[in-house]
Amino acid sequence: MEMEQLVALCRRRGFLFQSSEIYGGLQGFWDYGPLGVELKRNVREAWWRDMVTAHNELEPPPGAPSAFEMVGLDCSIIMHPQVWKCSGHYDLFHDFMVDCRESNKRYRYDQVCGRWVECKGQRIFVASDLGGDEGIELTRHKAMKFFNLRGKDADALAWEGTLVSLAELEEPYVELKIIDTKEKPASGKPSFLVDFSQVLGPDAKTLGTLTEPREFNLMLETYPGPVRDESSKAFLRPETAQGIFVNFKNVCDSTRVRIPFGIAQIGKSFRNEITPRNFTFRSREFEQMEIEFFCHPDTSPEWYRYWRDRRYQWYLDLGLAGERLRLRDHEKDELSHYSRGTADIEYAFPFLPTGEFGELEGVAHRGDFDLRSHAEGKLVRQGDKLVVETDAEGKPRHRGSGKDLSYFDDQTKERFIPHVIEPSAGADRATLAFLCEAYREDEAPDEHGKPTKRLFLKLHPRLAPIKAAVFPLVKKDGMPEVAREIYKTLKPHFPVFYDEKSAVGRRYRRQDEVGTPFCITVDSQTLQDGTVTIRDRDTLRQWRVHKDECLDELKTRLMA
């Protein structure tokens, strides 16, 4: 499946629209249409139900070290600015970006890639902001234009190596003189010494238009209240997790939860991504589904493995195929400064080059970093210890709340700072992965019995926006009245669609395209014996049941 086909279907059938489309759209923002809103709601509800409401705290689930409790929270998007100073987002949550002086476009430094090419005695680096085959094609096209070549002269271009990111440029491509990008000097900022004079920027026609990489904080700023100055500056949350950490004590004090337990939250997060791209995959406003699971330090490695495996299985159970879904443990040098283990659950999205995977969810062992930071002040690593970061005078650089965020176990009489396992998923990325996986084409008989191309979404019934459609075969002979009765019986139980317009074959196809698992048709036999046909979206099998049994039949099949 080509990504463009899915994007077109999403727009045509009302799953997703560009935000503010009538004004030309706004990059990095998306609106869910009537079907999309149902689909995403089903993703969220499946997550909330499976992780929180249906969780049985009396018995250990399969693979869990012990029984545990799960509760929920819904925190505000704007929080005290000190939250982000202690969490590290204020100092560390940034990307490096380069600007193009010619096109006025901004790119993420590590996403600009390109190839060296020599022609007519000149050697240049042709950059692209796309990777894979598309990037190769784009750089070829740009080089042809730059050197003023016609199609038949393509052999005049002598390419060296394959696509490489600007940030990764190493020998033998040292001509760009990138020095010391990894080494961090005392200020905590990497230094760059880059000579971009031979680089043709992704959207430039002349050489040397890219600026040196600069730091760019990803948090979106706002100014609550009437005064607009530094002291009133606040941020839209870049993750939902911090709301959970700062409420840890409130939850412990106001409920009877005992460690181990988890707090779940679903909500919007905002990041000023430099290059939002790939449909909803990287947006500036998106929704997260996060759990912070608090446990004793001694058992935390077992809980980490439990959550990693359980979250991977959740995607498989809802229909993502094993060969396109993988669980990847981070290498030691990929881990954040606080993490003792992180695994990503990744999906082979169709917009990625073959063999590449994109992150759906991260499961991280965060140790006691967050609770300690919010109690003591922002922590930094010193050797193998985490210590409060201090300024030149030895004072904490970002002061914590000063509140005691430790936990007292009244059975063992032990006081400790819990360790945290964090499964952090994106609702929009999960929705996109389910859509990509569901997109199918096959051949099926049309209304005249002739095999024609059929497009259908093989969505898991729990996720399908509409669970069943009800049709009268024709709009006469009392069939619409019976069909409406069935519709009225089903509607209070799940989303059902009634349709009597156009040929029944076309109505089936329209429902296939939006992933409706079952279609119920009232025909002339219904008027004689009260039976209707039920048609299965995936197998196209049809069978008859009595109209009064439709509800039970569908309930059984939707639960299966």
Among 89, 282, 308, 378, binds ligand GAP (CB under 6 A): 282
Please report how close the Cβ of residue 135 comes to ligand GAP at its closest, in angstroms. 21
Beta strand pairing call for 468-472 and 518-522: parallel
Cis peptide bond N-terminal to 172, omega within 30: yes
273 binds ligand GAP (CB under 6 A): yes
Token readout for 504 is 């029944």
128 binds ligand GAP (CB under 6 A): no
Residues 154, 133: Cα–Cα separation, whole Å: 17
95 binds ligand GAP (CB under 6 A): no
The DSSP string of 253-306 is: HHS---SSEEEEEEEEEE---SS-BTTTTB-SEEEEEEEEEEE-GGGHHHHHHH
Footprint of ligand GAP on residues 252-271 (CB under 6 A)?
A: 271
Among 95, 239, 346, 437, binds ligand GAP (CB under 6 A): 239
Q: How far is CA 187 from CA 51, 91, 183, 218, in A?
A: 42, 11, 11, 19
286 binds ligand GAP (CB under 6 A): yes
Tokens 């990307």 sit at which residue? Answer: 95
SS3 category, 60: coil
Torsion of CA 45, 47, 50, 55, to 10 degrees: -100
425 binds ligand GAP (CB under 6 A): yes
**Angle at CA of residue 293, ends 292 and 294, nearest 5°:** 115
69 binds ligand GAP (CB under 6 A): no
Q: How many residues bind ligand GAP (CB under 6 A)?
A: 19
283 binds ligand GAP (CB under 6 A): yes
Sole window of 105-113, 358-366, 408-416, 527-535 interacting with ligand GAP (rule: CB under 6 A): 358-366
Q: Name the H helices within 357-462.
A: 369-376, 427-438
Please report how close the Cβ of residue 323 comes to ligand GAP at its closest, in angstroms. 20
Please report how close the Cβ of residue 279 comes to ligand GAP at its closest, in angstroms. 10
42 binds ligand GAP (CB under 6 A): no
38 binds ligand GAP (CB under 6 A): no
Sign of CA dihedral 479, 482, 488, 489: negative
Footprint of ligand GAP on residues 404-423 (CB under 6 A)?
A: 422
Sole window of 12-20, 62-70, 284-292, 550-558 interacting with ligand GAP (rule: CB under 6 A): 284-292
Neighbour-count burial of 469, counting CB atoms closer than 10 A to its CB (0-12 exposed, 13-18 middle, 19+ buried): buried
Closer by beta carbon to ligand GAP, 175 or else 359: 359
Please report how close the Cβ of residue 358 comes to ligand GAP at its closest, in angstroms. 9
426 binds ligand GAP (CB under 6 A): yes
Sole window of 58-66, 279-287, 407-415, 528-536 interacting with ligand GAP (rule: CB under 6 A): 279-287
Contact between 371 and 246 (Cβ < 8 Å) = no
Name the residues that contact ligand GAP, by CB under 6 A. Answer: 239, 241, 271, 273, 282-283, 286, 288, 290, 359-362, 422, 424-426, 428-429
